A and B are shown apart, each in its own frame.
Chain A
């Protein structure tokens, strides 16, 4: 029984250390969203985005704390959290994805690599299949992932009342820039 316990522990630590290799982590990635509507432009910035890239497996995971989006107008920020994304019910947005052409990225040599990412995005408690193009830049310190894509809030059951239809765009532009460091 004792030997069984030891073997389980041994395996657990072994696999843990194996997974630890070739991973890049960040806790201060940046996600900005832009809304260009007829009456108003809205920008919000989140500089506390967590992300991890598993270079060996070609996998990416991102966790976004919704309350960390900073708006120029604090009242908008309150409306965003209270009425739209409902941050108390759904505090986080999550992305789990795969780099489809991971073989093209040379994590050992500096350069900018075009990548195609596909995965599941969960916002406002709703999960959707998404895919986008982006880049991975390998530099001396780590890797920077960049992506730009459009997101339709209605896809995630975030309803925008008609009264503010001219203030909030139907599709938001999302810009991701996250510098990961090796762990």
Chain B
């Protein structure tokens, strides 16, 4: 009985002596009382593109993104072409966030003198807390209009032949502060292809990632595996586009330096017309510049 009383006293004494100088105990008490919130993941990728292809990110409502992208010729073109720097392929676009979950864009690229337009919507946002969602999911649909003179003017050439369409589903997860991964099942339909044997529909599976190197710099990689590239009647040899790059972010600007085997920057180009091979040195150096303006608050 005596020992028990002693123990109680001891316990009481300990409980009292635990309170720290600035009430750390109260802090610990509050820690248990903190209400749950939904914390949405931010910056899975720093811009709407991983490198060539779309990322799961959208421009926020009222944001205009002016993008200037540029690819030089191939490195293996030698000193005469200054290792590709004598040639330049560009893609310019204006993109705008209509809602936080919907954006549109229009662009013009050197490749096949293409005018393009796309809509991208956000379907799911990765979050934890009250609402737990392991991935972010977005959808992109694009349309591409070839602006070249007809290769064969004698043929019956309808305007509709100039069109291509791409649809992509972006499924991404930011695993931690440093590492994000995205899978991008894609479909490209071209109304007109080189030869009757070439497939009009190309299916591919893309994968992209971001590895953060410092607060404002990350390493990005992107690869698309074209599932029916070995179609038996395919006469135009195309390869799987692989791009590696560095993302540099300076409040409002995102600058990407890229090495890729695709000269085209829109989906119709890199999914359907990547003719370069990394192993042969058909590597294009390039960059993307994104400048965001807040037009509406």
Contact = CB atoms under 8 A, between A and B. Distances in A.
Nearest to A84: B215
B23 A11 contact: no
Contacts of A52: 26, 29-30, 33
Contacts of A97: 22-23
User: Which of B4, B12, B22, B31 has the largest count of A CB atoms less than 10 A from its CB?
Assistant: B22
Interface in B237-286: 249-252
Given A7-B11, A59-B22, A161-B250, A74 B61 contact: yes
A75 B294 contact: yes
Contacts of A57: 19, 23, 26
Contacts of A51: 30
B26 to A, nearest CB: 4
Contacts of B194: none
A131 B11 CA distance: 33
Nearest to B5: A7
Residue of B20, B34, B43, B294 with most partner-chain A CB within 10 A: B34
A4 B7 CA distance: 8
B216 interface: yes
A25 B12 CA distance: 25
Given A51-B30, A52-B29, A75 B292 contact: yes
Contacts of B8: 7, 10-11
Given A27-B33, A72-B297, A79 B19 contact: no
A94 B155 CA distance: 73
Given A67-B39, A83-B215, A88-B176, A11 B61 contact: no
A67 B216 CA distance: 19
Given A27-B33, A27-B34, A161-B251, A65 B39 contact: yes
Given A52-B29, A73-B297, A74-B60, A63 B34 contact: yes
Contacts of A109: none
A7 B26 contact: no
A81 B40 CA distance: 11
B22 A119 contact: yes
A4 B251 CA distance: 61
Interface in B9-35: 11-12, 15, 19-24, 26-27, 29-31, 33-35
Given A3-B4, A59-B26, 4 more contacts: A51-B30, A60-B26, A65-B37, A161-B250
Interface of B: 4, 7-8, 11-12, 15, 19-24, 26-27, 29-31, 33-35, 37, 39-40, 42-43, 60-61, 63, 100, 176-177, 215-216, 249-252, 292, 294, 297
Interface of A: 3-4, 7-8, 10-12, 15, 19, 25, 27-28, 48, 50-52, 54, 57, 59-63, 65, 67-68, 72-75, 77-79, 81-83, 86-89, 91, 94, 96-98, 118-120, 161, 163-164, 167
17 contacts: A7-B7, A11-B12, A25-B30, A27-B35, A61-B29, A62-B30, A63-B31, A74-B63, A75-B60, A75-B252, A81-B42, A87-B42, A88-B177, A96-B23, A120-B22, A161-B250, A161-B251
